[in-house]
Structure 1
Amino acid sequence: MTTIFDETYWNERYGNSGKIWSGNPNPQLVAEAAALDSGSVQAPKKALDVGCGEGADSVWLAGQGWQVTGVDISTVALQRAAAHSAELELPGSVAWEHHDLLGWTPPAASFDLISAQFMHLPRPDRDKLFARLAAAVVPGGTLLIVGHAPSDSAAGAHRALGADMFFTAKQIAEALDPSQWDVVVAASRPRSASGPDGETITIHDEVMRAVRLK
């Protein structure tokens, strides 16, 4: 039986348990966003957090002064994220929006940073979504996409999704028009994780960061 990852699925997953995620921002987001603030690069102002879940990445970005829009398909997750952010005094701001990413088109050329962390979809849906996200980045802005490596299953990681749901940073970078994008990072970064029997294994985060030229 094929699992349908729709709004009902995600609301049930969030609603049937306490906090699902750690509450910490994704480390690749932290590393790459920090790079945007270094040297002569001016820190962007408006960010879109795609598939924000319980909101850890959005809250972290707002804590750095960003004006963030956090988008997710699950109303339960968004309620949880909003309750968390309401307790905090943030230099920036967060607006939570409910959208099905398979059908939603963000406003064109509107965000200085768009972050999609571990957004795994069948390739036809994924390609269309990532193209819509790319079109929503302003000239000079950044598109950051991070995912699990296809090779993680061979390394012993439990991946319930089919192989078609995963991608490499190089694949995502190659889909961008080189006349419109400067690919700054396209890397497979190793990190340690727990295997199915509690052993330590090495998996990889696929990290693609590109700057829109025009």
Structure 2
Amino acid sequence: MHQDATTGDPRHEDATTSVAGEPRHRDVDEETAQYWEELYQKRDRYWSGRANPVLVDVVGSLPAGTVLDLGCGEGGDAIWLAGRGWRVTAVDVAQTALDRASAAAATAGVAAGIEFRRHDLTRTFPPGEFDLVSAQFLQSPLEFPRAEVLRSAARAVAPGGRLLVVEHGEVPPWGRHAHPDVRFPTPQETLAELDLDPERWVTERLDAPRRQATGPDGHVGTLVDHVVLVRRRP
């Protein structure tokens, strides 16, 4: 899972100040924020910086428009989208991730095309409607109202626009010993959880492709992605 705070920066409009003088955010759960901050601070870079492959496959045939990137992490998807002319709103709960993403966008020369915003999606959701809402691996080991967040994502899709949900289909080979009993919803189950009106939505893709990937220890294995792509009728 990758995700508002007054400092003079429009990206940080909901901050208060704690007794110790550190920023505290009314709309961010402290436990959630701490978990993801600690995760990112373990390494100088946590993710590869490359766009997620299913996103690349889907977006390659679409005209550029507005896109909401939920759980943007260090900005790989947002930067790729902005480089192709999309106007991106990218959100994450971890300020460290957002800072890295913003710096990477500036280095790539696409900062003007991306608005980075801090959101804890368990508490707040970005306003507006978008031609594409992308939820890439919006999964968390913490308590997380996943179905509710994905329904909010569907409500943010503009008429004629799309919602793309990509999730882990199974634990990566290098992580199975730590998570032997984890089960992930199938694409069909995720689609059912969205509770979409079939008169207003068209299902364009519902599958579970496999791909090769390299784990943190250099081990190469096969990953399964669960993909749901739906389009809201104009």
Normalised by the shorter chain, which TM-score bucket? 0.7 to 0.9
Deviation at 1:85, TM superposition (A): 0.8
Match of 1:146 in 2: 166
1:118 aligns with 2:137: yes
Which residue pairs with 1:212 in the alignment? 232
**CA distance in 2 between partners of 1:208 and 1:182 (Å):** 11
In structure 2, how many angstroms separate the alpha carbons of the residues matched to 1:182 and 1:124? Answer: 27
Residue correspondences, number: 200
Match of 1:170 in 2: 188
Aligned to 1:32: 58
For 1:53 and 1:128, locate their aligned partners in 2 and report how far apart those are by CA, in whole Å: 20
CA distance in structure 1 between the partners assigned to 2:90 and 2:226 by the alignment? 22
* 1:22 partner SS: coil
**Cα 1:194/1:64, change in 2 over 3 Å:** closer
In structure 2, what is the equivalent of residue 60 of structure 1?
80
Deviation at residue 64 of structure 1 after TM alignment: 0.4
Question: Which 10-residue stretch deviates more, 168-177 or 22-31?
Answer: 168-177
Question: Using a 3 Å threshold, how does the CA distance of structure 1 residues 181 and 84 change in structure 2: closer, same or farther?
Answer: same
- Aligned-residue offset at 1:117: 0.5
Residue 131 of structure 1 corresponds to 151
The aligned counterpart of 1:39 is: none
What TM-score comes out, normalization by structure 1 length? 0.83
User: What residue number does 2:9 align with?
Assistant: none
Q: CA deviation at 1:179?
A: 1.7
User: What is aligned with 2:38?
Assistant: 12
Unmatched runs of 5 consecutive residues or more in structure 2 = 1-29
Which residue does the alignment assign to 2:11?
none
| Deviation of 1:44 (Å) | 4.1
Confirm or deny: 8 A CA contact 1:170 1:186 kept in the other structure.
yes
On the 8 A contact 2:122/2:144 being kept in 1, the answer is no
- The answer to whether the Cα contact below 8 Å between 1:106 and 1:133 also exists between their aligned partners in 2 is no
Cα 1:9–1:91 change in 2 (3 A) is closer
How far apart are residue 12 of structure 1 and its match?
1.5
Superposition TM-score, scaled by structure 2 size: 0.77
Contact map agreement 2:174 2:219 (CA 8 A) in 1? no
Residue-by-residue CA offset, 1:26-46 (whole Å, 9 max, x unaligned): 01100010132xxxxxx1411
Query: How many Å apart are 1:188 and its aligned residue?
Result: 0.4
8 Å Cα contact 2:82-2:110 kept in structure 1: yes
